[in-house]
Amino acid sequence: MNKKQFIDSLRGKTVKALLELLRLGQTGESNIDPDFLNCIIDELNSRELSKSESKDFEDLMNFSFNDNPTEKSDSKNEFSEEEIESIKKETDIEPSRYTALKTIIGLISILGYIVIVIGIIAMIFFATKEQEEQVLIGFVSLVISVIIALPLLAFSNLIYVFIDIEYNTRKTKDAIKKID
């Protein structure tokens, strides 16, 4: 059943049936999609409810009517196990983003390590010579290769950090949408 058909079917149900359906969905006794739960909540909000129905609805929604504004319910900020599992499943199913950028990161990292290896080989090659100038050239080549390789490796890690920041921002936005 798609979302539109589900919304149409809700219009024919009584408030009591909607409240029971919402309770079953929230407790996990029924495998109702969270988007569909929002449709039930919207349908209940669009109807005129009696005092007892309003109280039941408020209880289901975990409203707290404290006069003290400093006390806030932490239940809104917590994720249920189901929400965490659904986010993990979406992560596994979701195709990788920025594949070209990740390939470039790998190539830059490999290039950085190759430069270091070349510097070590040059140092060993020049250090085996008996002339003092060539030994000095060997150590200078190692230092220069490290100076060249460090920015390459740092840049590749920086790109990877930006990709992770984008991923975390996207997941946080999705989680906030699910809460609202």
Instruction: Please check whether residue 73 lies inside any domain of the structure.
Output: no
Element (H, E) at 179: helix 132-179
pLDDT at 57: 75
Instruction: Please check whether residue 9 lies inside any domain of the structure.
Output: yes
Virtual torsion, Cα 87, 90, 96, 102, nearest 10 deg = 10
- Domain check: are 61 and 113 in the same one? no
pLDDT at 79: 58
Q: What is the DSSP letter of 71?
A: -
What is the model's pTM? 0.47
- Domain check: are 52 and 117 in the same one? no
The rounded distance, in Å, linking the Cα atoms of 177 and 180 is 5
Instruction: Please check whether residue 88 lies inside any domain of the structure.
Output: no
Number of domains observed in the structure of the chain: 2
pLDDT at 72: 44
pLDDT at 97: 79
The rounded distance, in Å, linking the Cα atoms of 48 and 45 is 8
18: containing domain: 1-66
Given a cut of 70, the residues of the chain with pLDDT beneath it are 1-2, 34-35, 62-80, 82-96
The rounded distance, in Å, linking the Cα atoms of 80 and 179 is 10
Instruction: Please check whether residue 103 lies inside any domain of the structure.
Output: yes
Instruction: Please check whether residue 78 lies inside any domain of the structure.
Output: no
pLDDT at 46: 83
41, 66, 91 - which closes a domain: 66
pLDDT at 68: 44
- Domain check: are 61 and 131 in the same one? no
- Helices 132-179 and 81-93, interaxial angle, to 10°? 130
The per-residue pLDDT for range 159-172, each reduced to its tens digit, is: 999 998 998 898 88
pLDDT at 88: 59
